[in-house]
């Protein structure tokens, strides 16, 4: 195979990488989609979504084959969508069912997009609709598992999704950009860190073994119960696809290498879906397996996480604007903490070559 691209030399090359369609991305929360048609732009494709009477979600090209009227401005009749301009009627599989004023129907169809619901999220396959690769769907057993309680959030990013993914691969900003929210002190910079390329993604993790700091994110009642025991907290995760970062931040309490260990699970998912090359949809979920009925803790955490993730969104927005207005050629400086981010850039190049190479 001829490589489409060799490597990215700096952030400008990185955010200029072409969009990747042969992957699953989050299209939204399942509850957003009803029998009423609604449109979203994902990877520069306008897509109309609606549910059939049986609740099945349909995703079609949001563009009537006749004169490009947006089908989201149309009507769903039974399970079909009827164009609001001249009445062309399409089935949920995109085929033309009826054209007003003529007996025959052209042998054309709207493009369809396979969708797959996991827990509260809808995933969409942006590649060839005839061959969605279900092996590439992320494994998220905690979403929808009654043993976990999940907090969710959604926002839009006025910058490249790749800047946001780079932020997720970068642990060193925790103690600086998030110093007022997540309150990692500067000792966070010195924690033992693992960064490696794994077959399933780019893995990065830091482990804090200071029991006071490690248990700081637990609700007070649990913190009290585990006080005085050794504890460690992980902070990290894995970039598994161009649109999915799977964070994992368990707190492990108890003597190492014994059976007397309690694990408090926290799975932190980040889903980035480009809208265009310079804007993105962003969803996150944080799922814990502890304190499931502590509403006050979850209400506090929801606000806390929203504030923290908003800081990332803000930083990405500012960097994107700067890159757009200042075109001075420059040589980027990379530091030790960028290892995971640089590996991720390389993985992006591999995905680009998989899709665009020949």
Would you call 89 helix, strand, or coil by DSSP?
strand
Which residues, at least 6 apart from 159, have a Cβ–Cβ distance to it below 8 Å? Answer: 278, 279, 280, 316, 317, 319, 320, 321
CA separation, residue 4 to residues 7, 8, 272, 354 (Å): 10, 12, 24, 9
Helix axes 339-356, 161-168, angle to 10 degrees: 140
223 interacts with, out of Fe ion, ligand FES, none, CB within 5 to 8 A per kind: none
Binding flags for ligand FES, 35-74, as an x/- string (CB under 6 A): -----------------------------x-xx-x-----
312 interacts with, out of Fe ion, ligand FES, none, CB within 5 to 8 A per kind: Fe ion
Place of tokens 């599989």: 93
Q: From 84-92, 107-115, 117-125, 197-205, give the range in contact with ligand FES by CB under 6 A.
A: 84-92
Out of 312, 313, 316, 352, which residue is the one contacting Fe ion (CB under 5 A)? 312
Determine if 166 is a binding residue for Fe ion (CB under 5 A).
no
Place of tokens 């043993």: 147
Residue 273 and residue 267: Cα distance in Å, rounded?
19
CA separation, residue 267 to residues 235, 250, 286 (Å): 10, 8, 6
Determine if 88 is a binding residue for ligand FES (CB under 6 A).
yes
249: which DSSP letter? -
**Total residues interacting with Fe ion, rule: CB under 5 A:** 1
Task: Write down the least CB distance from residue 243 to Fe ion, Å.
Answer: 17
Determine if 22 is a binding residue for Fe ion (CB under 5 A).
no
Out of 7, 9, 35, 86, which residue is the one contacting ligand FES (CB under 6 A)? 86
Residue 82 and residue 71: Cα distance in Å, rounded?
8
351 interacts with, out of ligand FES, Fe ion, none, CB within 5 to 8 A per kind: none
C-alpha dihedral sign at 285, 167, 175, 303 = negative
Determine if 83 is a binding residue for ligand FES (CB under 6 A).
yes
- The half-sphere exposure of 279 on its side-chain side, counting CA atoms within 13 A, is 9
198 interacts with, out of Fe ion, ligand FES, none, CB within 5 to 8 A per kind: none
**Residues 340, 195 contacting (CB under 8 angstroms):** yes
Determine if 85 is a binding residue for ligand FES (CB under 6 A).
yes
| For ligand FES, the closer CB: 71 or 291 | 71
| For Fe ion, the closer CB: 163 or 222 | 163
Q: From 37-45, 79-87, 226-234, 261-269, give the range in contact with ligand FES by CB under 6 A.
A: 79-87
Residues forming the site for Fe ion (CB under 5 A): 312
Residues forming the site for ligand FES (CB under 6 A): 64, 66-67, 69, 83, 85-88
């Amino acid at each position: 195979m001829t490589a489409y691209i060799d490597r990215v030399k700096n952030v400008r090359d990185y955010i200029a990488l072409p969009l990747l369609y042969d992957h699953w991305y989050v299209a939204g929360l399942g509850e957003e989609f009803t029998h009423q048609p609604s449109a979203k732009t994902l990877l520069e494709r306008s897509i109309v979504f609606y549910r059939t009477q049986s609740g099945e979600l349909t995703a079609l090209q949001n563009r009537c084959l006749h004169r490009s009227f947006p089908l989201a401005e149309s009507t769903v009749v039974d399970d079909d969508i009827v164009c609001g301009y001249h009445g062309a009627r399409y089935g949920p599989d995109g085929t033309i069912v009826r054209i007003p004023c003529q007996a025959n129907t052209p042998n054309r169809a709207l493009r369809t997009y396979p969708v797959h619901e996991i827990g509260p999220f809808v995933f969409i396959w942006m590649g060839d609709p005839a061959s969605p690769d279900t092996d590439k769907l992320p494994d998220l057993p905690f979403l929808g598992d009654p043993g976990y309680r999940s907090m969710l959030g959604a926002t839009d990013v006025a910058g490249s999704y790749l800047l946001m993914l780079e932020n997720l691969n970068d642990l060193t900003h925790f103690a600086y950009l998030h110093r007022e929210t997540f309150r990692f002190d500067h000792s966070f910079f010195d924690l033992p860190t693992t960064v490696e390329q794994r077959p399933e993604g780019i893995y990065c993790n830091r482990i804090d073994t200071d029991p006071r700091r490690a248990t700081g994110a637990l609700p007070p009642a649990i913190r009290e119960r585990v006080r005085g025991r050794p504890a460690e907290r992980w902070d990290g995760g894995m970039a598994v696809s161009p649109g999915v970062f799977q964070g994992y931040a368990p707190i492990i309490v108890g003597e190492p290498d014994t059976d007397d260990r309690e694990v408090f699970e926290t799975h932190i998912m980040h889903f980035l879906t480009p809208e265009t090359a310079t804007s993105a949809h962003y969803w996150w979920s944080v799922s814990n397996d502890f304190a499931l009925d502590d509403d006050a803790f979850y209400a506090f955490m929801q606000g806390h996480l929203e504030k923290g993730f908003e800081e990332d969104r803000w930083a990405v927005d500012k960097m994107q604007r700067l890159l757009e207005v200042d075109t001075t050629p420059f040589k980027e400086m990379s530091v030790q903490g960028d290892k995971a981010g640089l590996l991720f850039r390389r993985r992006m190049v591999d995905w680009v070559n998989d899709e665009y190479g020949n």
